Amino acid sequence: MATAFPAERTVILTGAASPRGIGRATAYHLAELGWNIGIIDIDGDAAARTAQEVAEQFGVRGLGVGADTSDREQAVAAVDTLEQGLPQIVALVNFAGVSSPVPYLEVTPEEWHRVLSINLDGVHWVTQRVVASLVESGVGRIVGISSVSAQRGGGTFSKTPYSASKAGVIGLMRSIAREVGPLGITANVISPGPIDTDIMGGTLTEERKQAMAADGVLPRIGTPRDIAAAVAYLISEDAGFVTGQTLNVDGGLYMH
């Protein structure tokens, strides 16, 4: 029998501070659904501000802390702080990430390390710390954020280190799903197609959006809300029989 969700539950979101980002939109959506919100972002002020805003707007509790999630000590300390200040952690969504538009032969060791350490190591540091708490309560939901770039071999703004890191997120979540499933925890991935945020080198022009949309089946690119809605499902109590999956929210860009 699956353990029921506690009435008061917290979701931790990494990378949920940038003004037009997917994580921030998700914080708003989940707070509206009654989740208490913990935010970890390299921009600590914006993390605190966003958490406070959603708390005031939706009457939940919110706490935001600054940390570079690629640094294990900072990642662990941030989760410690959120755990002490908020109700029981039930879910984690790993949004923190960076793009990398560098052509392969120009990828320096520094660029490779920067992208892998934020997009993959950081996911591991935060997830490992959160899973340690979830196994104590016997209930939990983990979500990793990959990218269609991992599944299709780039073809997007970001190139090789990004694709490799995002493919790594899929392998990591599947493997975590297998190990912690018997302990009441699910782990899944959302793989977005192009979403209208500033991560692809700044705010997208209408022309660029149309060109990206032309590649898929649906006549538009995605919105942060499209991803927020998918997250809300995967971390819900009702999604307790879904684990090890990759949910493509990409307008039909990648079918398999």
Could you give the residue numbers annotated as active site? 162
At 192, phi and psi to the nearest 5?
-80, 150
CB of 25 to ligand NAD, least distance (A): 8
∠ CA 242-20-85 to the nearest 5 degrees?
Answer: 65
73, HSE (Cβ side, Cα atoms, 13 Å): 0
Measured from the CB atom, the residue of 155 and 240 that comes closer to ligand NAD is 155
**Beta carbons of 165 and 222 less than 8 angstroms apart:** no
CB of 16 to ligand NAD, least distance (A): 6
CB of 28 to ligand NAD, least distance (A): 13
Residue nearest to ligand NAD (CB): 97
**Beta carbons of 120 and 172 less than 8 angstroms apart:** yes
User: Burial level of 256, CB count in 10 A (0-12/13-18/19+)?
Assistant: exposed
Exposure class string for 77-102: b at 16+ Cβ within 10 A, else e: ebbebbbeebbbbbbbbbbbbbbbeb
- Bridge partners (DSSP) listed for residue 145: 190
**Structure-derived torsion over alpha carbons of residues 203, 206, 211, 213, reported in degrees to the nearest 10:** 90
User: Burial level of 8, CB count in 10 A (0-12/13-18/19+)?
Assistant: middle
Measured from the CB atom, the residue of 30 and 139 that comes closer to ligand NAD is 30
Chain residues in the site for ligand NAD (CB under 6 A):
14-15, 17-18, 21-23, 41-43, 68-70, 95-98, 118, 122, 145, 147, 192, 194-195, 197-199
- Helix H or strand E encompassing 41: strand 36-41
Cβ–Cβ contacts within 10 Å for residue 159, how many? 21
